[in-house]
Amino acid sequence: MIIMLASDTCRSIMRNQPVSLLSRLQQWSAASDEIVISSITYAELVAAALLTGEQERHMHLVEAFCARLDVIVPWDSAAVDAYTSLQRQLMGEQRVLNMNDVMIAAHAISLDAMLLSSNERGFGGLTDLNLQLWHEAEA
């Protein structure tokens, strides 16, 4: 199985290192599941690091975090197709969501990956998305 981490999950891991989440990620990894992020998530993490007063330190944290992942998945035509379909659905429902969240959800859908996030508002109810909600309160 592919487990794609959403941006909020990545930030939580880097900031708080929640034991229960890290343990679960280790279990998935030991079971040969792939732990990945979308290139969209990577862009969000880099942009956030560059907007801080401590760019070098934050970029080092992002780089160290990403080095532990199986892969940063490139945005490809399958992701674009899934995004187009998902965006059409949302427009038909007159729902407006954060564009990056929709792109990340579409990327997960295109890979048949499970998306791990605590952002139920941004990802909840999206057709075909295998969403696993995680909250720090569970730690």
The mean pLDDT value for 2-19 works out to: 94
Q: Does the global pTM surpass 0.85?
A: yes
Average pLDDT, the chain: 93
Instruction: Read off the pLDDT band of 75 (50, 70, 90).
Output: very high
The residue segments making up the domain with residue 16 are 2-138
Lowest mean pLDDT among 14-18, 44-48, 76-80, 102-106: 14-18
Instruction: Read off the pLDDT band of 136 (50, 70, 90).
Output: low
Cα-based distances in Å from 13 to 22, 25, 75, 111, 128: 8, 11, 23, 23, 26
Residue 12 tokens read as 């939580």
Total of domains in the chain: 1
CATH code (residue 46)? 3.40.50.1010
Residue 30 tokens read as 């030991």
Query: What is the pLDDT, as a whole number, of residue 103?
Result: 97
